[in-house]
Amino acid sequence: MDETTEIRSWLAGRLPQGWFIEAPEVLADRDEILVVGKIEDVAASEGVDVGTARSGRIKKFREDTREERMRIAAEAQRKFGRHASWAVRIGDAGELFTHMAVPVMTRLRIRERSILDRLVQGGVVQNRSQALAWCVRLVAEKESEWLGGPREGSAPELMAAITSPIPSALPDSDPASALLDAYSQAVIRVVERVTPAVAHVRRGPGGGSGLVIAPDGYVLTNAHVVDGATEVEVAFAEGATYRAPVVGTDAATDLALVRVLGPSLPAAELGDSDALRVGQLVIAIGDPLGLQSTVTTGVVSALGRSLRAKDGRIIENVIQTDAALNPGNSGGPLVDTHGKVVGVNTAISAMAQGIAFAIPAATARLVAMALIRDGRVRRAYLGISGAATPIGRQLSYSLGLGAPSGIRVLEVTPNSPARRAGIREGDILVALDGAALATLSDLQRALSAERVGAPTLITAIRRGDRVVLTITPEEAR
């Protein structure tokens, strides 16, 4: 059994009775599954012409089947690794239910995109997506004229051109263009992999973006996006909208978790944010309007930054990037070139252009687990701000330390546990109760609720010497 037949057989057992008046057509390639079904036609009525009546029938079918189509599409994505699209025919009318034009268009090569650009410049259409649709309609209208003849052998050279695969590189592509095209293809692959898990989180007239992190409906977003709400709406680009109670929020990291009350959803994978390096390429994805994702690219500009939240709190260990964002992208994912989520976009600097911030995936993972378990995050508080810094293997070895890096203390808050314990600005923290502190994520993981009120040994380097202090963390407020 070939794969298309397998997909067709699999779908046949899942499509509800009564959707279509005959067996649907199923088309598949390596990226897409397209289900094309025919629905019962309608007649004109008083004051309503046939075209309007058919459009209304299509709209009703789309709304009535939305949740079930979403569930089937999510299952198809997991089973076959393909994006599922839906289309219906009614009489001589038809409609495609997903935005296939965008991913298809972005897979085109430089020469093909230039043809679309010429159609735009010539005023035939307004944008590339419309140009692609115009080309498809033209081929459909000329199908019998262009394809009928070659199938009968009257124009074999045309048939050969139509059926031959597109070359992987154009003969006239210069090295720079080929490199840019390869970069574009890498970004496209990541976007197509992650976008199904990106949603629009709506709270009254405002909102932001969200990221599905578990198939059972857990969606991660920003705390300021759901501020004050007990329930929000979560909308996906395919058109489905679900109620989502707020599981919990954490103002200290500007993260929140909601849970969609609906079918199984495609989820993104949280990656290793501790492995990020300054200069690394990243991709910011958001869904600010609930219609279609926005995508920008950039690099990691800095790591371990501090960010003052809207309520005045300092958010520690933040990723800084130059990937352009807009306010509606808050809560969307920051992704590496392997399609792994390395951060959750959280804010834009109002004081400078080209600066945006994201909460690391390592922090997001800890916060999400705590919110699922307890509905809130309890953490121990030391009262310092700091940044990861190398200390050198030789010094690390001579002092018997477990890692060649630590956390340099940049500021000690007055009347804090750190101040009372004798920690000073310039100290390099290297261990907490014997556990190495090589990164800020290590420190955040170590400051669990169990340490609140418990005397703890903290090891630091001060002017080249090793010192051990006793600190009693408080509960963060």
Strand residue runs (E) in 163-293: 198-203, 206-212, 218-222, 231-235, 241-250, 255-259, 281-286
pLDDT digit string, tens, across residues 231-274: 998 888 777 888 899 999 988 888 999 999 878 888 888 988 88
pLDDT, residue 164, reads 43
Residues 6+ apart with CB under 8 A from 417: 381, 382, 383, 471, 472, 473, 474
Strand partners, 437: none
Catalytic residue numbers? 224, 254, 330
Two tokens, residue 267 = 């989820």
pLDDT, residue 314, reads 66
Residues 6+ apart with CB under 8 A from 359: 253, 254, 255, 315, 318, 319, 343, 344, 346
pLDDT digit string, tens, across residues 304-328: 887 766 655 667 788 998 887 766 7
For 139, the 3-state DSSP assignment is helix
User: What is the enclosing helix (H) or strand (E) of 56?
Assistant: helix 50-80
CA distances from 83 to 70, 171, 211, 404, 417 (A): 11, 31, 18, 45, 52
pLDDT, residue 25, reads 85
Asked if 362 contacts 391 with a C-beta cutoff of 8 angstroms, the reply is no
Two tokens, residue 335 = 């992704």
pLDDT, residue 42, reads 86
pLDDT, residue 143, reads 62
8-state DSSP, 8:
H
Do the bridges between strand 241-250 and strand 380-381 make them parallel or antiparallel, or are there none, so unpaired?
unpaired
Two tokens, residue 463 = 């002017």
Low-confidence stretches of the chain (pLDDT < 70) are 1, 29-31, 96-113, 125-130, 132-133, 136-181, 288-293, 308-314, 326-327, 348-354
- Smallest CA-to-CA distance from 197 within 339, 58, 69 is with 339
User: What is the enclosing helix (H) or strand (E) of 4?
Assistant: helix 3-12
Q: How much is the mean pLDDT over the chain?
A: 79
Supply the pTM of this predicted model: 0.56
pLDDT, residue 353, reads 57
pLDDT, residue 159, reads 44
pLDDT, residue 109, reads 58
pLDDT, residue 422, reads 93
pLDDT, residue 77, reads 76
> How many CA atoms lie less than 13 Å away from 465 in the CB half-sphere?
4
Categorise residue 395: left if φ over 0, alpha if ψ from -120 to 50, beta otherwise.
alpha
